[in-house]
Structure 1
Amino acid sequence: MTTGFDLLDPILQHHIVNTLRWPGLRPLQDESAPTIVGGTDAILLAPTAGGKTEAAVFPLLTRMQRERWSGTSVLYVCPLKALLNNLQPRLESYAAWMGRSVATWHGDVTAGGRRRIKAERPDFLLTTPESLESMLVSTGVDPAVVLGDVKAVVVDEVHAFASDDRGWHLLAVLARLEALLGHRFQRIGMSATVGNPEELLDWLQGGSNSAGQVVGPASGEAAPPDITVDSVGTIQSAAKVIAALHAGEKRLVFVDSRRLAEELGAGLRERGITTFVSHSSLSLDERRDSERAFAEARDCVIVATSTLELGIDVGDLDRVIQINAPRTVSSFLQRLGRTGRRDGTSRNCLFLCLGETAVLSTLGMLHCWSLGWVEPVLAPPEPRHIAAQQILALALQTRRVSLGGWRASWGRLPLFGDDGDRVFDHLLEKGFLDHDSGTAFIGPEAEKRFGRRSFMDLLAVFTASPEFRVYAGRQEIGSVDVSVLTDTVDGPRVLLLGGRSWLVTHVDWSRRQVYVEVSNLPGRARWGSMPDDASFRLTRGARAVLLGATPAGVTLTRRATATLGELRTTRATDVSGEGLVVARDGDDWRWWTWAGAKANRTLAAWAPHLIAPRQTFDAESVRLHPDLTGSSIADQIALMRLDEEARRRCPDVDDGALAGLKFSAALPSELARRTLAARQIDVGGALDCCSMGPVLRMGG
């Protein structure tokens, strides 16, 4: 029987056995080879450290040799520059076995490095979607020459792209490159476990009818992971616990905010623990130094946000510690997969919860995980703003766009929907595009809004709050939110960045630069960010825990057990096994939907006569009009499920929210509002609430 190993080039076979000293390929690598060598599109599924990179690269190197590919024939796309930098040395070693080359192109690559890439055209080019589009529109790059030989595209961490507007942007840029070159690429996506891999493959193929295959071999009978939940109250208590446990081991601590990363890092250092910090607002050099030092050390801790979730290699770990709950089961699986890589070690994760709410959300997430549920990856709906961005980017790329045939550059990609012509006409009407002789070109409004720095702002589809860069002498430390520089403080202004305190000595407001020196005073960290809405499934998981469910395979410490007991007592009036509670509390009614913020926002749009106005939507409940009666509430909830006209209503979107949708100015206001509204609703969750009979409770 022919194996995947048998299909690989003999040179690769030799080095796998003699250089890597592998006894054989891993299951994913073995099963992916026939698909990729055969030129078929694929989604490769495996946990962190499951060998996905080799599962894609070894068969592609084999194709490269057999079919005599030349020039830059493989694009390797990642969501993070740090991940590209981390991957390059490993891919260089594999490619060198075959006499092939690898290079990286992103925003930090020097002009000299780019000139070498254009001249030498490496076989593998590692890049981001934004950098790839910059190559398409740059006057200094001829993409038909530099990228003219591309045969395959590898998309690493494809689930991270697909769940975000960067995914639509990536697919659109690939479609434009295929249209320019006149041929389609093989598309290979690599992902951790997801709930809908077939749909993810369809999305990656961008409307193509090409053959595709999901490759995700069943894992063997691995030992169950060691999952423990503790309730510690404060971030300083968490630092105390981490400092006291697992001495001599290498520990990776995940937090879901930069502020917590800084505060925990400082707290651990105060306790004499060798600690490193990694998050997106630290400078590239700071992050690299932390990750390199952590990878080479033993008895130490690195505190990180999700920047270290997506496959960046920081060496073998002994422990993963999670502060509070990650936002998804998928994130938990990614982080859990960081452990148990060495023989004789097992997967593990210790949750340290900062308060009752964190204990409940953590156990709710673990309940979903214990049932085998993982989030489906869903592309954001109705990406009209990305459609507008792409039309303008095409005008930059080609200089002139046909008024009649402009859609051809994206083939069958379902980016424009039924509103593409309205978007295009709006760009013409408002001066984003100018036109004559049957063609359109960049207009004065596009120059005004996006023309700075050679239209670089147009090429990045994500938004980021403006931050001030922090310098100690000439060394850049990172960046901070402006609010930490402007709020009132008693005494000197001291920042917390990189887990260290810095005294502010000067602020250059015009250049957005802060100059600091080392301080022994306690510092402050703050960044503005919008929390993700809690999902329907995870919120219902929390409800199940309150009703008595305990996640299988999870150990609770005495403190966590006590906290859970208190929660089940104090929140007993908010849940019922017979339905969803509608409770009278003073003058108010509250409907305990346990459906997530999006579903609750949807219910408010469907039934403004039932849901009280001007409320902040949380995951657990909504306030109802206070003058309703119990029987009228029950009747209106039942009618809501049957009212098809009401279910077509979407939440109101105010002008302030539009500012958060990048390129919304390039859309008609009504379409921009519809785009945002479509992303704020959960129809399935709302319908579920309507189908569950209300349980009326009077008096709280």
Structure 2
Amino acid sequence: MTIRWAGARRDCLILALTVEDLFASAGLLLLWSRGYVEPLHPPPAPRHIVAQQFLALTLQEGRMGDALWPDWWHGLGPFREPQARTVLDHLTSEGFLERDGGDLLVGPHAEQRFGRRNFIDLTAVFTAPPEFTVLRGSAEIGRTDPALLTSAVSGPRLLLPAGRTWAVDWIDWRRRRCFVQPVEGSGGKARWATSMSGGASFALSRAMRDVVLGADPPVKLTRRAAAGLARVREDSRHLVRPDGTVIVRDDGDLQWWTWAGNRANATLKATLGPLADPAQRVDDQYIRVRNDLTGTGWRQDLADRLSRPEVDERALNGLKFSVLLPRELAVETLASRLADYPGATTVLSEPVKLLVR
């Protein structure tokens, strides 16, 4: 809540409803105090937009030269050979484009799929906000980032809008809506950081680790907030180290506390393959690995073979123009947006400590 008066300093009051929210807020304020600004990066591998641009250019010009199309984009990354050629070949093989000598024309499949209302669905790249509306019946209870709905999970998919845990019943990818039902009890493994884009980032997770290690954000804390952070530090102090990561064997579980954020941990889980617990939903701070592993040698050479996170293929319905791509490329495009390869590489380069409790 922000309060402003003319000529006065700006004042911001943060109300944390849970200890988890308090912890995340402390990490965020610590980043703010350090002058951190989240960098803006275009979404990686926009192959579906490459396909859309091929069709849009052909529609605009009437025809497109099969050998001259690279001149239109002047070497822009996504339109370079051979990646763009793969997309173009798929468009012609599927009838979205057809050949006439050395030229390409809009094909019958494109007219059937996008031709309504003078191809408006083809020329409008962004037709809806990126968030999904979360509904219980007809009542809207919040919004969520699509990344929380696209990663593959085993068991129910859990969200946390409106201060409680909900299980996703059904996702309407076309209209960007998901329908939920309340879950009784504590919610267990539900991620609380659903208001963030796809979970906590690498930078925020590392700032939260710094909070556990003793860093305080330079703001005024209430006595309850200070006591809450003290409890967080007491409960989590064995899970952190300033120069690396911690693997904890506790009550039959083996947890790797990376403090790397959701996307980096999703990348690490995919890279671990059968070494990771397949039933675990990706968490912002740790990965659960197979409890029969010993030592830390199983981490060796993982940095040389990072894998993309798993994707629920039904989520392709929410990636506009995915129908214009080969299915494997569409899945890879979506998976690249769930990955954090630099964060995963950083974790794998750090020393690790094994702790048995």
Shift of 1:624: 0.3
Q: Report matched runs for 1:501-650 at 5 Å.
A: 531-552=197-218, 554-577=219-242, 579-629=244-294, 631=295, 634-641=296-303, 644=304, 646-647=305-306, 649-650=307-308
Gaps of 5+ in 2: 143-174, 176-193
AA in 2 matched with 1:459: T
Unaligned runs of 5+ in 1: 1-252, 254-318, 321-338, 468-479, 486-493, 498-511, 513-527
Could you say what secondary structure the match of 1:353 adopts?
Answer: coil
Distance 1:411 1:595, change over 3 A: same
Structure 1 equivalent of residue 309 of structure 2: 651
The answer to whether the 8 A contact 1:463-1:660 is kept is no
1:444 pairs, out of 108, 112, 127, with: 108
Superposed structure 1 runs of 4+ greater than 6 Å apart = 494-497
The residue aligned with 1:113 is: none
Within the candidate set 22, 36, 54, 1:359 is matched to 22
Greater displacement, 417-426 / 442-451? 442-451
SS at 1:652 equivalent: coil
2: CA distance, partners of 1:559 / 1:449: 58
Q: Can you list the C-alpha shifts for 1:67-116, whole angstroms capped at 9, x where unaligned?
A: xxxxxxxxxxxxxxxxxxxxxxxxxxxxxxxxxxxxxxxxxxxxxxxxxx
Q: Give the distance between the partners of 1:484 and 1:399, measured in 2 at CA.
A: 47
Contact 1:638/1:691 (CA < 8 Å) preserved in 2?
Answer: no
Q: In structure 1, what is the Cα distance between the partners aligned to 2:282 and 2:101?
A: 51
The answer (yes or no) to whether the contact 1:403–1:439 under 8 Å persists in 2 is yes
Amino acid corresponding to residue 404 of structure 1 in structure 2: A
| Deviation of the 1:463 alpha carbon | 6.0
Deviation at 1:438, TM superposition (A): 2.6
Give the whole-Å Cα distance in 2 for the aligned partners of 1:484 and 1:465. Answer: 21
3-state secondary structure, aligned to 2:118: helix
Q: Within 5 Å, which residues of 2 pair with 1:196-595?
A: 253=1, 319-320=2-3, 342=6, 344-418=7-81, 419-462=83-126, 464=128, 484-485=137-138, 531-552=197-218, 554-577=219-242, 579-595=244-260
The alignment covers a number of residue pairs equal to 306
In structure 2, distance between residues paired with 1:580 and 1:666: 42
| Residue aligned with 1:555, SS | coil
Shift of residue 465, structure 1, vs aligned partner: 8.5
1 or 2 for the larger relative contact order (CA 8 Å, sep ≥6)?
2
What whole-Å deviation, never above 9, does each CA across 1:190-211 have from its counterpart, x for those lacking one?
xxxxxxxxxxxxxxxxxxxxxx
The CA deviation string for residues 21-40 of structure 1, in whole angstroms up to 9 with x for no partner, is xxxxxxxxxxxxxxxxxxxx
Give the RMSD, CA atoms, in angstroms.
Answer: 2.9
Please state whether the residue corresponding to 2:293 is helix, strand or coil.
coil
Shift in Å at residue 495 of structure 1? 7.2
Residues 482, 625 of structure 1: alpha-carbon distance in 2 compared, 3 angstrom cutoff: closer
Hey, what's the Cα distance between the residues in 2 that align with 1:591 and 1:694? 9
Deviations 1:117-157 (A, max 9, x none): xxxxxxxxxxxxxxxxxxxxxxxxxxxxxxxxxxxxxxxxx
2:285 aligns to what SS in structure 1? Answer: coil
What is the SS of the residue equivalent to 1:351? coil
Identity of aligned residues (%): 44
Provide the C-alpha distance between the structure 2 equivalents of 1:496 and 1:582, rounded to a whole number of angstroms: 37
The verdict on how the C-alpha distance between 1:372 and 1:530 changes in structure 2, with shifts beyond 3 A counting, is closer
Shift of 1:462: 3.6
Q: 8 Å contact 2:198–2:263 — kept in the other structure?
A: no
Residue 683 of structure 1 is matched in structure 2 by 341
Q: 1:578·1:695 contact (CA, 8 Å) conserved in 2? A: no
Match of 1:135 in 2: none
1:393–1:458 Cα contact (<8 Å) kept: yes
| Bigger Rg, structure 1 or 2 | 1
Q: Which amino acid in 2 is paired with 1:376? A: P
Q: Is the 8 A contact 2:66 2:104 kept in 1?
A: yes
